[in-house]
Amino acid sequence: MKTQKKQILWFILIRLVAVTSILVAVVIIQSSTSDFIPPLPFYYFVLLVYLLSLVYLGLYLWWKLYAFQFYLQTTVDLLLITSLIYISGGLSGSLYLLYVFSIIASSIVLSTRAAYLTAGLAAILFGLLVDGLYFGVIPYFSPEQYRERSLGLVLFTMFLAWSLFFLIAFVANYLTGSLRKARGALLLAQKELEIKERLATAGRISAQLAHEVRNPLAAISGAVQVLKNELDLDEEQKSLMGIVLKESQRVSQSIEQFLDLASPGKQVFSWLNLPEILGETLSLLRASGELNGRYQLAGNFTSAKLGYYGNPNQFKQVFWNLIKNALKAMPDGGTLSIDFFMDRKKSVKIRFADTGRGLKKEDKDRLFEPFYTTKGEGLGMGLAVCRSIVERHGGRVWFENNADRGATFYVTLPVPQSAV
């Protein structure tokens, strides 16, 4: 909407510049010949365009219906161009080329369809004018403008103009389509840069947390564990000690995620079995109580055998985060399908499909950003860590909403040519 609004404003200003340029050109040509265009009607025409531009500017400021306003402006402009061609004598000049500017503007501001619609309307108006003048249905603006022309020449000029209109629409759509793709790629690169800047911030924070929190936290956790084992505690006291140990472990895991996200350290790769790593991760989740009887597992992960060259601990972290994310999306239970397969491009693909709530539109663009969470709990680091690890292995991770319910996350990894 903001882009379209800005383009319409530029369109209004460019119209003023174009009309002024035509006015100057006509004045210069008119000084050397009086046969180009009747001056007084042309000056009235220019004045009308200036007044309409002021009206368009007022609509732009107060009406806010930008797409409808542009369609209105384009239609009126085509009528004005047709009237200018009529004043200049119809086929006597080449002013029908002015239709081209409206076609290009429609392609830039609106869409490819709008460009073809504008070209079609221009062809209809120009064809009606030319046929009307030739067959005498429409009288010439000035009797001196009449020229004897054959029907073949009239049809040739008309079809040439029509071909030009649609050719310009095609070329303009191709160029604006490329421009929109380049703009989208630029915005994506800008977003990637913003994420990398956040990762750099996470690195600085994680380094401070590692030094200021991790060592004292380990000392506290160790002391509580000793006290819990040596003291004669009742059930409530044991429960409180357990909470302290559990929360200490959670904070320690958060710190480790910070460090893994921003300071991955030396990459130690080896050959590993991805389904086997997944099985170990599932065992840990069952032991922690997070993967319980409310959830059903499906997919080919139990029978798949897929070797890969990577870091086993990092892949365990990826699987842990993606599975926990899926389980949190199914608070009332559900089915999680995990599949391994090789696609046609000889790359490894891993699919995690849940039957949960799915992803909201406003969350999709920010889901892999550090510190962004949709669950109302946690630090929002899990998916950012997944993305960072997968990209270090030369792959990518993405997601989509399922057609019925839930969401599916994909991990794609290139098959390494050799183990370096």
Q: Which residue has the higher pLDDT, 324 or 35?
A: 324
What is the average per-residue pLDDT within 43-51? 83
**Phi and psi (nearest 5°) for 149?**
-135, 145
What is the average per-residue pLDDT within 235-257? 73
- With cut-offs at 50, 70 and 90, classify the pLDDT of residue 420: very low
- Cβ-contact 15, 49 below 8 angstroms: yes
- Cβ-contact 252, 217 below 8 angstroms: yes
Mapped onto helix, strand or coil, the DSSP state of residue 340 is: strand
- With cut-offs at 50, 70 and 90, classify the pLDDT of residue 3: very low
Q: Would the pLDDT of 263 be above 60?
A: no
User: CA triplet 404, 405, 408: central angle to 5 degrees?
Assistant: 105
Task: State pLDDT tens for residues 63-110.
Answer: 777 778 888 888 888 998 898 888 888 777 778 888 888 898 888 887
Six token digits for residue 111: 């869409």
Most confident range (mean pLDDT) of 111-120, 191-200, 362-371 is 111-120
Task: State pLDDT tens for residues 28-41.
Answer: 776 666 556 777 78
DSSP assignment, residue 416? P
- Cβ-contact 323, 352 below 8 angstroms: yes
Q: What is the mean pLDDT of the chain?
A: 80
Q: Would the pLDDT of 419 be above 60?
A: no
Judging by DSSP bridges, how do beta strands 307-310 and 295-298 pair with one another?
unpaired
Contacts of 11 (CB under 8 A, 6+ apart): 70, 73, 105, 109
Specify the range with the lowest mean pLDDT, choosing from 165-174, 270-279, 360-369.
360-369
Most confident range (mean pLDDT) of 117-131, 281-295, 361-375 is 117-131
Q: For residue 245, give the H/E element and its range.
A: helix 235-262
Task: State pLDDT tens for residues 133-188.
Answer: 888 888 888 777 777 788 888 888 889 999 999 999 999 999 988 888 888 888 88
pTM confidence score: 0.51
CA 36 to CA 30: how far, in whole Å? 7
- Cβ-contact 261, 314 below 8 angstroms: no
Mapped onto helix, strand or coil, the DSSP state of residue 390 is: helix
Q: Say how many residues make up the chain.
A: 420
Show the domains of the chain with their CATH numbers. Answer: 2-149 (no CATH), 270-414 (3.30.565.10)
How many CB atoms are closer than 10 A to CB 108? 19
Contacts of 277 (CB under 8 A, 6+ apart): 312, 315, 316, 319
pLDDT of the residue at 297? 92
Mapped onto helix, strand or coil, the DSSP state of residue 54 is: helix
Six token digits for residue 226: 């000793």
Q: For residue 351, give the H/E element and its range.
A: strand 347-353
C-alpha distances (whole Å) from 281 to each of 299, 348, 377 are 16, 19, 22
CA 213 to CA 202: how far, in whole Å? 15
Six token digits for residue 296: 């059903």
pLDDT of the residue at 254? 63
Tokens 């084992």 correspond to what residue? 229
- Cβ-contact 409, 329 below 8 angstroms: no
User: Which of 144, 106, 145, 113 shows the shortest CA–CA distance to 129?
Assistant: 145
Contacts of 157 (CB under 8 A, 6+ apart): 91, 130
Q: Would the pLDDT of 365 be above 90?
A: no
- With cut-offs at 50, 70 and 90, classify the pLDDT of residue 382: confident
CA 303 to CA 242: how far, in whole Å? 38
DSSP assignment, residue 349? E
pLDDT of the residue at 225? 78
Task: State pLDDT tens for residues 337-364.
Answer: 999 988 766 788 999 999 988 877 777 7
Q: For residue 368, give the H/E element and its range.
A: none
Percent of the chain with pLDDT over 90: 15
Percent of the chain with pLDDT over 70: 84
User: Which of 334, 365, 336, 353 shows the shortest CA–CA distance to 407?
Assistant: 353
